[in-house]
Amino acid sequence: MKSIKVFAPATVANVVCGYDVLGFAVNAPGDEVTMNLVDKPGVRISKITGDDGRLPLDASRNTVSASVQHYLDHVKRNDVGVEIELHKKMPIGSGLGSSSASTVAGLFAINTLLDDLLTVKELVPFAMKGEELACGYGHADNVAPALLGGFVLIRSYNPLDIIKLPHPDNLHAAIVFPEVDVPTRDARQMIRSKVFLKDAVTQWGNIAGLVSGLFMKDYDLIGRSMTDVLVEPTRSILIPDFYKLKEIALAEGALSFGISGSGPSVFAFTKEEETAAKIVAKLQQHLNKLNIGSQTYVSAVNNQGPKVIG
Amino acid sequence: MKSIKVFAPATVANVVCGYDVLGFAVNAPGDEVTMNLVDKPGVRISKITGDDGRLPLDASRNTVSASVQHYLDHVKRNDVGVEIELHKKMPIGSGLGSSSASTVAGLFAINTLLDDLLTVKELVPFAMKGEELACGYGHADNVAPALLGGFVLIRSYNPLDIIKLPHPDNLHAAIVFPEVDVPTRDARQMIRSKVFLKDAVTQWGNIAGLVSGLFMKDYDLIGRSMTDVLVEPTRSILIPDFYKLKEIALAEGALSFGISGSGPSVFAFTKEEETAAKIVAKLQQHLNKLNIGSQTYVSAVNNQGPKVIG
């Protein structure tokens, strides 16, 4: 029996001025999938841990098994039997690409077990199918960085055009997940469908600045480009004391501060790990005062994507 | 008597998906300013050639003299006497940064004569004053590339944040100015003040792709990112047979095709000079059939900005 254990990373999408087009991966948290090839054809979920019973064991409804099935259909290997254990090691509904981490771990596992029938980049559309099942919209800004590592630009969906961007080595993310509920579907519906052109111009000046800063490894340019005049003003309403949290992070030396995905997680960029550690401690302290529990993570930008851990 | 002659380049602003934030300079065409320091304080225009009498000799109304005066006020050198000859070597109202080339030549001349009291980057705000006089709006996306050379991103106006971007060495521009009249003010008013967020997302995915392509020296990425879903559909109405011209350019091997500034000039990017030469010939041929005269230019991207030529 062939068996493998894979870790795939959490991701921050909608990176401030990069709404819907930019995401990056972190080293922690992330999800783990153990996959066994078995004789009986078909894809089954044998076990899920760490989800408090929230995720479906039904293989057609679970994003991991559904995307693995989709992959097997594509590579014409429906003779293969797969048993999946999913170990959730990160919070669900946190805005950190939870479903994406699981799906990517599963796809990376089956592709590795089948001797890399596809390249990692070719796995993106299958992972997007999983996202469609999980949140009603097949976006790529979590799954692409989870698969490729680093910063990833989704230039276009039609045709799909994914570009991996460089980043400065010491760029760290300070991430805080306040334990309040913000369903992705609701967060998406809050956003206005029309915006002022002048605000859009501000936004694309900023994403051009952010991309330039990543290539130039210019921390200051990265920081001052990370302003969102379009989405943050609305979405921040769903996050407890968002602007106070931002003020605290910037006062502690953050380069930037924003919402991760559709929230409620927030993240700051820093030049050093220590600054990130200080920031998450201060933010958690403030949320404690509001009687809101939180989980915190400090991580460099993950440059590798998924990895085999057993 | 100290005297100097300066050339400053034409520029392409609103670079397709980079509306209001991105511009680049070319080697030709451009304008020339001859400047003499004289005993009698004050700034005077002594001569203008090549403008068919369209530009004001009144020093307070001419963008060159007005921005030079603004510069002298700032550096507290109102003791200086300046006589300016402006030689227009490029068409006015062409969408190629005509006023900007003149203004930049004048500012570079006075700054050189006064032993570089300011850096070239510090001249940008003075040139923007000239633009305000010329077209009612103090934009920087022509003057900044005319001063700095190459591709320039205007990330933000408030505060002014200007970033020079790299580009591949062989990137050439094929430029055609169809001799029809499109005043900048009218072209600006045609644009809708509100846009769909989904279109804005497409646009900022593309500008992020274009900036990445410039850094990566990836001609193909540059080309496929240069799509404008917001401004071109409206502004192209003012340009004779725009979509046919686009079709011709792309068929001849252009990487991209778009409007320069607010038109009526159009430009294509190519990988080689010969392709650019072929494209301008074909486009001129098509405009001839429509009984529209045109002027054509083929140039590499200018990396230097203004230069002393005498």
- For the segment B99-129, what is each residue's pLDDT rounded down to a tens digit? 999 999 999 999 999 999 999 999 999 999 9
Q: Last residue of a domain, which of A166, A193, A211?
A: A166
Is A118 in contact with A75 (CB distance < 8 Å)? yes
A133 and A14 in a single domain? The answer is: yes
Could you read off the pLDDT of B242-265 as tens digits, one per residue? 999 999 999 999 999 999 998 999
Please state, in angstroms and as integers, the Cα–Cα distance from residue B149 to each residue in A69, B105, B106, B143, B217, following that order. 53, 13, 16, 10, 17
pLDDT of residue A184: 61
B199 and B222 both lie in a single domain: yes
Candidates B152, B191, B197, B210: best to mutate against A (most CBs of A within 10 A) is B197
Q: Per-residue confidence at B44, pLDDT binned at 50, 70, 90?
A: very high
Average pLDDT of the segment spanning B159-185 = 91
Query: Known catalytic residue: B131?
Result: yes
Exposure of B77 by Cβ count < 10 A (0-12 exposed, 13-18 middle, 19+ buried)?
middle
Q: What CATH number corresponds to the domain at position A296?
A: 3.30.70.890
* Dist CA B47 CA B96 (whole Å): 22
Confidence class for position B187, pLDDT limits 50, 70, 90: low
Same domain, B181 and B63: no
Q: Tally the C-alpha atoms within 13 A of residue B152's C-alpha that lie toward its C-beta.
A: 31
What are the catalytic residues of A? 131, 184
Which residues of chain A have a CB within 8 Å of the CB of B230? 197, 200
In a domain, A222, yes or no: yes
In whole angstroms, what is the distance from residue B78 CA to residue A99 CA? 67
**Partner residue facing A155 (CB), from B161, B194, B209:** B209
Is residue A309 in some structural domain? Answer: no
Query: Shortest CA distance to A204 belongs to which of B29, B169, B156?
Result: B156
With b meaning 16 or more CB within 10 Å and e meaning fewer, what string describes A122-156? ebbbbbbbbbebbbeebbbbbbbbbbbbbbbbbbb
- Do residues A129 and A177 share a domain? no
Residue A310 is assigned to a structural domain of this protein: no
Return d(Cα A221, Cα A206) in angstroms, integer: 10
Burial of A288 (0-12, 13-18, 19+ CB in 10 A): exposed
Residues B181 and B162 in one domain: no
Q: Is residue A307 part of a domain?
A: no
Contact with chain B for residue A247, Cβ under 8 A: no
Tokens at residue A114, please?
A: 């089948």
Q: Hey, is the C-beta of B208 within 8 angstroms of any chain A C-beta?
A: yes
Residues of chain A with pLDDT under 70: 1, 183-188
What is the rounded average pLDDT of the residues B57-65?
94
Instruction: Check residue A137 and give its pLDDT.
Output: 77
- The domain containing residue B156 runs over which residues? 3-166+303-308
Query: Is residue B20 over pLDDT 90?
Result: yes
User: Can you give the pLDDT at residue A136?
Assistant: 76
Residue A186 pLDDT: 67
Per-residue pLDDT band for B188 (boundaries 50, 70, 90) equals low
Give the per-residue pLDDT at B45.
97
| Confidence grade of residue B186 (pLDDT, cut at 50, 70, 90) | low
Q: Are residues B110 and B210 in the same domain?
A: no
Is residue A14 domain-shared with residue A158, that is, in the same domain?
yes
**B145 shares a domain with B41:** yes
Q: In the structure, how many helices (H) and strands (E) does chain B have?
A: 10, 12
The CATH number of whichever domain residue B49 belongs to comes to: 3.30.230.10
- Structural contact between residues A62 and A50, judged by C-beta atoms closer than 8 angstroms: no
pLDDT for position B138: 82
Same structural domain for residues B50 and B195? no
Given a cut of 80, whether residue B303 has pLDDT beyond it is yes
- C-alpha A246/C-alpha B91 separation (Å) is 50
Q: Are residues B134 and B179 in the same domain?
A: no
Does A305 reside within a domain? no
Q: Report the mean per-residue pLDDT for chain B.
A: 95
Helices (H) and strands (E) in chain A, counts: 10, 12
pLDDT of residue B29: 97
- Examine the predicted complex and report whether its ipTM is higher than 0.90: yes
Q: Which of A99, A131, A166 is the last residue of a domain?
A: A166
CA closest to A215 among chain B residues: B215
Sign of CA dihedral B74, B75, B79, B81: negative
- A152 and A110 within one domain: yes
Say whether A155 and B230 touch across the interface (CB within 8 A): no
Of all residues in chain B, the one with the smallest CA distance to A14 is: B201
- Going from the C-alpha of A68 to that of each of A61, A63, A98, A126, B126, the distances in angstroms are 12, 8, 17, 8, 60
Query: In this structure, are residues B97 and B61 in contact, taking their beta carbons and an 8 Å threshold?
Result: no
- The answer to the question of residue A143 being in a domain is yes
Measured between alpha carbons, how far is residue A72 from residues A31, A33, A126, B84, B163 in Å? Answer: 22, 17, 10, 74, 47
Q: Do B39 and B105 have their domain in common?
A: yes
CB pairs under 8 A between A and B: 124
User: What's the number of domains chain A is made of?
Assistant: 2
Q: What is the pLDDT of residue A138?
A: 82
Distance between CA atoms of residues A11 and A141, nearest Å: 8
Task: Kindly state the percentage of chain A with pLDDT values over 90.
Answer: 90
Domain assignment present for A181: yes
CA distance B230 to B201: 11
d(Cα B229, Cα B302) in Å, to the nearest integer?
Answer: 27
Domain limit, last residue, from A143, A166, A189: A166
In a domain, A294, yes or no: yes
